[in-house]
């Protein structure tokens, strides 16, 4: 690890000021992604601002019947919350499909949304990678790309966003709440939060420098059947090849979001009426414009078959 300085402020205003004051300032929450990358010198922050004392560790009801999840709420606490288990089952299911019990005890809501890609070329500082080092090229395009993306990708980068939790939050139309150095508060629809790579794959979210995530708001519950199916190389403790989050209603309507295929959770609302027709017609619409590689072409069929399985199970 490169040397860095460290501080643990007590208010959001102090934290935001601290991260902007020193060069290379970064927030650190659970540390499970940032420290991993710092050990490899993929990330080299000069100053770490520990956010654990800022008080964003509660799950509270909102006036319009939803829930507000503090940025610091751990993945374990969130998945185990009785209101989440009862009304937002797809979120509990997505969280416990990710990482391990130990990691989920440390992983936070904000840190999980901001975790970086698992592209092996991004992790290996000997390889070219436009995301890690803009302009250096992309090792994955033309390389080993079995785990990489095919939707929303560009000729600069085909990385996927690895979070399971974010896929469920996209399905639920969550909003990400932030605060910046002048005290401006934003509520960002999760659909707009993660950015597509285009020619700037190092820019991954809509957040501005120093902007702090304070929480995530869930709208009122949707009812229906909540499902999260994750397909991976091992039965547990592995990232998704593809994952499908769904909330399906008795009348045949529903929502579907997909993980493991794009730089953000992939959802196309306009395709959702086709869920009443068949998994094929929905998947064709959801995945239209796909740019698969030879290695990851299988994901197209895998998404459709995983969804077919879910529809079969729910409608049986």
Partner 1 sequence: MNGSGKWRVSRRGVLAGGSASAAMATMLDAQPSHPRRQADIPVYDVSFTVNGEPRTLSLDPRTTLLDTLREHLQLTGTKKGCDHGQCGACTVLVDGFRINSCLSLAVMHEGDRVTTIEGVGSPDHLHAMQRAFVQHDGFQCGYCTPGQICSAVAVLKEIEAGVPSHVTEDLTATCVPSRAEMRERMSGNICRCGAYANISDAMAEVAGVNV
Ligand X SMILES: Cc1cc2nc3c(=O)[nH]c(=O)nc-3n(C[C@H](O)[C@H](O)[C@H](O)COP(=O)(O)OP(=O)(O)OC[C@H]3O[C@@H](n4cnc5c(N)ncnc54)[C@H](O)[C@@H]3O)c2cc1C
Q: Which of residues 125-144 bind ligand SF4 (CB under 6 A)?
A: 129-131, 138-140
114 binds, among partner 1, ligand X, ligand SF4, none (CB under 5 to 8 A by kind): ligand X
93 within 8 A of 228, measured Cβ to Cβ:
yes
Name the segment binding ligand X (CB under 6 A); options: 23-31, 146-154, 248-256, 281-289.
23-31
How far apart CA 201 and CA 264 sit, in angstroms, is: 12
Does 263 bind ligand SF4 (CB under 6 A)? Our answer is no
Q: Closest residue (Cβ) to ligand X? A: 111
Does 201 bind ligand SF4 (CB under 6 A)? Our answer is yes
Among candidate residues 227, 230, 228, 257, the one with its CA nearest the CA of residue 242: 230
How far apart CA 312 and CA 316 sit, in angstroms, is: 6
Does 29 bind ligand X (CB under 6 A)? Our answer is yes
245 within 8 A of 172, measured Cβ to Cβ:
no
131 binds, among ligand X, partner 1, ligand SF4, none (CB under 5 to 8 A by kind): ligand SF4
Q: C-beta of 166: minimal distance to ligand SF4 in Å?
A: 17
288 binds, among ligand SF4, partner 1, ligand X, none (CB under 5 to 8 A by kind): none
Among candidate residues 147, 197, 192, the one with its CA nearest the CA of residue 169: 192
In the list 49, 79, 159, 307, the residue contacting ligand SF4 (rule: CB under 6 A) is 159
38 within 8 A of 48, measured Cβ to Cβ:
no
Cβ within 8 Å of residue 268, ≥6 positions away:
285, 286
With respect to ligand X, which residue has the nearer C-beta, 25 or 197?
25
Does 121 bind ligand SF4 (CB under 6 A)? Our answer is yes
Among candidate residues 185, 158, 182, 162, the one with its CA nearest the CA of residue 294: 158
197 within 8 A of 156, measured Cβ to Cβ:
yes
Residues that bind ligand X (CB under 6 A): 26-34, 36, 51, 71, 98-99, 103, 106-108, 110-112, 114-115, 162-165, 212-213, 239
């Amino acid at each position: 690890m490169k040397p860095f300085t460290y501080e643990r402020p007590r208010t959001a205003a102090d934290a935001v000021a601290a991260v902007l004051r020193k060069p290379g300032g970064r927030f650190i929450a659970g540390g499970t992604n940032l420290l991993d990358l710092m050990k490899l010198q993929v990330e080299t922050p000069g100053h770490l601002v520990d956010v654990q004392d800022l008080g964003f560790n509660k799950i509270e009801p909102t006036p319009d019947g939803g829930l507000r999840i503090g940025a610091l709420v751990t993945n374990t606490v969130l998945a185990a919350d009785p209101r989440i288990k009862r009304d937002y089952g797809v979120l509990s299911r997505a969280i416990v499909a990710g990482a391990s019990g130990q990691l989920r005890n440390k992983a936070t809501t904000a840190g999980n949304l901001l975790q970086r890609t698992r592209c092996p070329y991004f992790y290996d500082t000997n390889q070219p990678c436009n995301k890690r080092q803009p302009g250096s090229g992309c090792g994955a395009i033309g390389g080993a790309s079995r785990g990489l993306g095919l939707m929303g990708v560009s000729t600069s980068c085909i990385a996927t966003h690895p979070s399971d939790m974010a896929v469920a939050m996209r399905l639920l139309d969550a909003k990400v709440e932030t605060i910046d150095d002048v005290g401006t508060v934003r509520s960002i629809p999760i659909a707009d939060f993660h950015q597509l790579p285009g020619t700037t794959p190092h820019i991954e979210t809509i957040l501005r420098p120093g902007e702090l995530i304070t929480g995530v708001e869930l709208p009122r519950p949707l009812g229906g059947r909540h499902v999260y199916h994750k397909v991976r190389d091992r039965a547990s403790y592995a990232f998704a090849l593809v994952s499908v989050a769904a909330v399906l209603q008795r009348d045949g309507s529903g929502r579907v979001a997909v993980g493991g295929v794009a730089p953000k959770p992939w959802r196309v609302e306009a395709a959702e009426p086709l869920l009443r027709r068949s998994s094929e017609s929905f998947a064709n619409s959801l995945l239209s414009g796909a740019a698969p590689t030879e290695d990851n072409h299988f994901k197209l069929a895998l998404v459709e078959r995983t969804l077919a399985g879910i529809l079969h199970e729910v409608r049986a």
